[in-house]
Amino acid sequence: MRSLILMAAAAALAFAGPAFAADHQVKMLNKGEKGAMVFEPDFVQAAPGDTVTFVIVDKGHNAESIKGMTPEGGEPFKGKINEEVKVTLDKEGIWGVKCTPHYGMGMVAVIKVGEAAVPEEALAVKHPGKAKTKMAELLAQAAQ
């Protein structure tokens, strides 16, 4: 009887594995596949409850949510320079992310949580310099 209970517990744990939330790793880089001052990847498709960890690879970066680009009820976040940031995404929607010192250079990312559409508020946010073009591309990807 005891071994039957242990086998049942082991089977339950094996099937429960996929139910755990994922942790998506995003690197903060001076140079990546898409050029200078980038998040890699710059687009993340996540499920509600997943986490995203912004990993310092090169110094001088941070990760911060962009005002107007967090889902309703979502908690904005702001990491310090040279600090790893881990964010749990409990609200479905579009999350815009920037590296504050390199925002104008286009160091932005988009996290799409669930299957939410891109809201008008996110499309209306004004971005400086290269971030404007880069964010338009990422939001188009999120809309697909």
Query: Which residues are known binding-site members for Cu cation?
Result: 61, 99, 102, 107
Are 29 and 57 in contact by the 8 Å Cβ rule? The answer is yes
Are 105 and 124 in contact by the 8 Å Cβ rule? The answer is no
| Partners of 23 in beta bridges | 51
In terms of Cα–Cα distance, which of 87, 56, 83 is closest to 71? 87
The annotation places the binding site at 61, 99, 102, 107
Q: What is the CB-side half-sphere exposure of residue 48 using CA atoms within 13 A? A: 10
Residue with tokens 């946010």: 125
